[in-house]
Amino acid sequence: KNQVEQSPQSLIILEGKNCTLQCNYTVSPFSNLRWYKQDTGRGPVSLTIMTFSENTKSNGRYTATLDADTKQSSLHITASQLSDSASYICVVSLMDSNYQLIWGAGTKLIIKP
Amino acid sequence: KAGVTQTPRYLIKTRGQQVTLSCSPISGHRSVSWYQQTPGQGLQFLFEYFSETQRNKGNFPGRFSGRQFSNSRSEMNVSTLELGDSALYLCASTMTGGKNNSPLHFGNGTRLTVT
């Protein structure tokens, strides 16, 4: 069964600290992996998209890694800010005829001052 | 360039009624997809339209339907509303759909409450 699992479910850290969110997937055939940030009550916003051949990709203070062999991805946030408080969602695209997307349940991150 | 626009932003309906939600994609985007998000749940895919044709469909009952117009604007309809339909309904657009590595661009959703 095609699944995307994220951990932890929620995380609280102090402003200025770093953190890493995890994403494990059992999706095949794999096309690409995406990370989205969703603020409360708003639509998700794309952070990164990585294909099979990409191991790491950065977007400002956000760095995503992908290990296609172990089917794991991580999102590392450096020097967290209060505005980083949001849900972070991992999404994997299937390389099927419709390129359907398999969504994780997200990690809720809270940054405390 | 204007983003994805969803209307209305909030909606309160009574069980048994029907509702229509609207989505205007980013100019030039031909793929529009719809998602349901309930508290504590991940995004659940409803359907995707491309050039006025439904290209993908999720596992939702037939009460949920949609359509896309020639200008790529899309509507979704939910008939015979149930309490469990209360959710944030999100619309996303992209140039050609998931076939390439283009990201989805989401609107801020319509918050539907069924009483």
Residue A22 has pLDDT above 70, yes or no: yes
Give the separation between CA B24 and CA B105, rounded to whole angstroms: 11
Which pLDDT score is estimated for A41?
87
pLDDT band at A113 (very low <50, low <70, confident <90, very high): very high
Q: Do residue B111 and residue A41 have CB atoms under 8 angstroms apart?
A: yes
Q: Which residues pair with A63 in a beta bridge?
A: A58, A76
Phi-psi region of B16 (alpha: psi -120 to 50; beta: other; left: phi over 0): left
Give the separation between CA A16 and CA B107, rounded to whole angstroms: 30
- Could you give the percent of chain B with pLDDT greater than 90? 80
Give the separation between CA A16 and CA B30, rounded to whole angstroms: 41
**Mean model confidence pLDDT for chain A:** 93
Q: Which residues pair with B111 in a beta bridge?
A: B10, B88
Sheet holding B5-7, edge to edge: B5-7, B19-24, B74-78, B64-68
- For the ranges A52-56, A83-87, B33-37, B75-79, the lowest mean pLDDT is seen at A52-56
Residue A89 has pLDDT above 60, yes or no: yes
Is residue B12 a contact partner of residue B79, using CB atoms and an 8 Å limit?
no
Give the separation between CA A75 and CA A90, rounded to whole angstroms: 9
- Could you give the percent of chain A with pLDDT greater than 70? 97
**CA of A100: which chain B residue's CA is closest?**
B98
Which pLDDT score is estimated for B95?
82
Instruction: Give the closest of B45, B105, B109 to A101, CB-based.
Output: B45
Q: Tokens 């015979």: give the residue.
A: B80
Which pLDDT score is estimated for B41?
75
- Cis peptide leading into residue B103 (ω within 30°): no
- Could you give the percent of chain A with pLDDT greater than 90? 81
Which residues of chain A neighbour B95 with C-beta distances below 8 Å? Answer: none
Residue range B20-45: mean pLDDT, rounded: 92
pLDDT band at A94 (very low <50, low <70, confident <90, very high): confident
Residue A111 has pLDDT above 70, yes or no: yes
Residue range A79-86: mean pLDDT, rounded: 97
Give the separation between CA A95 and CA A102, rounded to whole angstroms: 11
Instruction: Note the pLDDT tens digit of each residue in B41-98.
Output: 778 999 999 999 998 899 999 999 999 999 999 999 999 999 999 999 999 999 875 5
- Reference B90, options B112, B73, B115; nearest CA is B112
Distances (CA, A) of A86 to A3, A40, B23, B34: 22, 7, 24, 21
Give the separation between CA A50 and CA A57, rounded to whole angstroms: 7
> Is A43 at the interface with chain B, CB within 8 A?
yes
Q: What separation, in Å, do the N-terminal and C-terminal C-alpha atoms of chain B show?
A: 37
> Is A49 at the interface with chain B, CB within 8 A?
yes
Total number of residues shown for chain B: 115
Which pLDDT score is estimated for A97?
65
Instruction: Note the pLDDT tens digit of each residue in A23-47.
Output: 999 988 888 999 999 999 899 999 9
